[in-house]
Amino acid sequence: MNTVTEKAARSAVTTAQLPLAQEPRNPGMPLDMDWVRAVQANTSAIERRAASLPGRRSVKKEFQAAWLLKAITMIDLTTLAGDDTAGRVRRLCAKAASPVRQDILDALGMGPITTGAVCVYHDMIGIAVEALQGTGIPVAAVSTGFPAGLSPYPLRVAEIRESVKAGADEIDIVISRRHVLTGNWQALYDEMAEFRKACGDAHVKAILATGELGTLRNVARASLVCMMAGADFIKTSTGKESVNATLPVSLVMIRAIRAYHEATGYRVGYKPAGGISKAKDAVTYLTLLKDELGPRWLQPDLFRFGASSLLGDIERQLEHHVTGRYSAGYRHAMG
């Protein structure tokens, strides 16, 4: 590995592993309905900009490897299946702690890296916490009646508290889509603020389920309201909708984050989730983030991929970079 490659790769990893608490948390602000109502979205312009993204930035060879190593450190490695077992979660945690085969890391001249977090259902929090002990990898739990968010409201709040009590460091909540679809922004704000309060010291990611919000303007307004209510992250999707993370939606949410930061001075994180399974797509999302928000957001305290299969394709691409050959998928098992 040449010096340029080594510097690029090491920089990609070390800058992405700063402590989560380094950035002050978003405390929220009073609901500003004038600001919310003023938010618009030019759909055709957004779609044109998004369509241009995959071809506007091209990184190759050692620089692509560096971006992919960075992407790994920002993955919330996820299992949210009805047939999850303790063994599957332990294997996932082992993969999170050692996401790339050692021979590939050795060939790249890299030391150990980890994923950004492990994301599981409430019942699997204790197993994940035990499996990740000593690794420094946080446990994220989906909550509030995930994925539909239609369980009784007191139970949704109680579920958050129970997940925090069980050891979750981060809580991924789902908003009530009906509040967005009916324009009841006060109800959305109050719900998000209550969820944030129930999380206590655990960071809260607000899942907007953007594929069910109807318009990009609704996505922009919902993003802003959730940030006003104290969300630490805004997240596109549960991964269970028919349409999950897309580049137009990401552009809208990222620009809402930028506007909030410019107005308040607080940085809010972003998490695209669902449907991101290819290494090339990960690079596209990272370059979009860098273009719109700058390099500070290219760290795991401000950006995460919600993914399960993405890691396997990234590892496969890294092996191709090292050997010049594409390997079979089974060589990069999840555990």
- The residue annotated as part of the active site, out of 70, 205, 235, 281, is 235
Once rounded to an integer, what is the mean pLDDT over residues 151-169?
Answer: 98
- The residue annotated as part of the active site, out of 169, 172, 232, 281, is 172
Q: In this predicted structure, what is the pLDDT of residue 327?
A: 76
What CATH number corresponds to the domain at position 63?
A: 3.20.20.70
Angle, to 10 degrees, between the axis of helix 279-293 and the axis of helix 247-264? 30
Q: In this predicted structure, what is the pLDDT of residue 57?
A: 60
Inform me whether the pLDDT recorded for 312 exceeds 70: yes
Q: In this predicted structure, what is the pLDDT of residue 20?
A: 43
Domain that holds residue 196: 3-332
- The residue annotated as part of the active site, out of 70, 95, 271, 281, is 271
Binning pLDDT at 50, 70 and 90, where does residue 155 land? very high
Q: Give percent above pLDDT 70 in the chain.
A: 90
**How are beta strands 269-271 and 117-120 bridged, if at all?**
unpaired
Binning pLDDT at 50, 70 and 90, where does residue 61 land? confident
- The count of structural domains within the chain is 1
Inform me whether the pLDDT recorded for 332 exceeds 80: no
Q: What angle do CA 15, 248, 139 make, to 5 degrees?
A: 45
Q: In this predicted structure, what is the pLDDT of residue 195?
A: 98
- Residue 5's identity, in one-letter code, is T
172 catalytic residue (yes or no): yes
Inform me whether the pLDDT recorded for 11 exceeds 70: no
Q: In this predicted structure, what is the pLDDT of residue 15?
A: 45
Inform me whether the pLDDT recorded for 4 exceeds 60: no
240 catalytic residue (yes or no): no
Inform me whether the pLDDT recorded for 34 exceeds 80: yes
Q: In this predicted structure, what is the pLDDT of residue 60?
A: 76
What does the block give as tokens for 53?
């993204």
Reported as a single tens digit per residue, the pLDDT across 182-238 is 999 999 999 999 999 999 999 999 999 999 999 999 999 999 999 999 999 999 999
Binning pLDDT at 50, 70 and 90, where does residue 325 land? confident
Binning pLDDT at 50, 70 and 90, where does residue 1 land? very low
Binning pLDDT at 50, 70 and 90, where does residue 56 land? low
Q: Kindly list the strands in the beta sheet with 75-78, ordered across the sheet, starting from the edge strand earlier in the chain.
A: 269-271, 233-235, 203-207, 170-174, 139-142, 117-120, 75-78, 305-307
Reported as a single tens digit per residue, the pLDDT across 245-259 is 999 999 999 999 999
Inform me whether the pLDDT recorded for 10 exceeds 90: no
Q: Residue 180's beta-bridge partner residues?
A: none
Q: Where are the alpha helices (DSSP H) in 175-278?
A: 177-181, 185-199, 216-228, 247-264
Under 8 Å between Cβ of 171 and 163: yes
Q: In this predicted structure, what is the pLDDT of residue 172?
A: 98
Reported as a single tens digit per residue, the pLDDT across 92-145 is 999 999 999 999 999 999 999 999 999 999 999 999 999 999 999 999 999 999
Reported as a single tens digit per residue, the pLDDT across 243-295 is 999 999 999 999 999 999 999 999 999 999 998 999 999 999 999 999 999 99
Q: In this predicted structure, what is the pLDDT of residue 110?
A: 92
Inform me whether the pLDDT recorded for 9 exceeds 60: no
Q: How far is CA 302 from the centre of its chain?
A: 8
Q: How much is the mean pLDDT over the chain?
A: 91
Give the list of residues 6+ apart from residue 158 with CB closer than 8 angstroms, or none. Answer: none
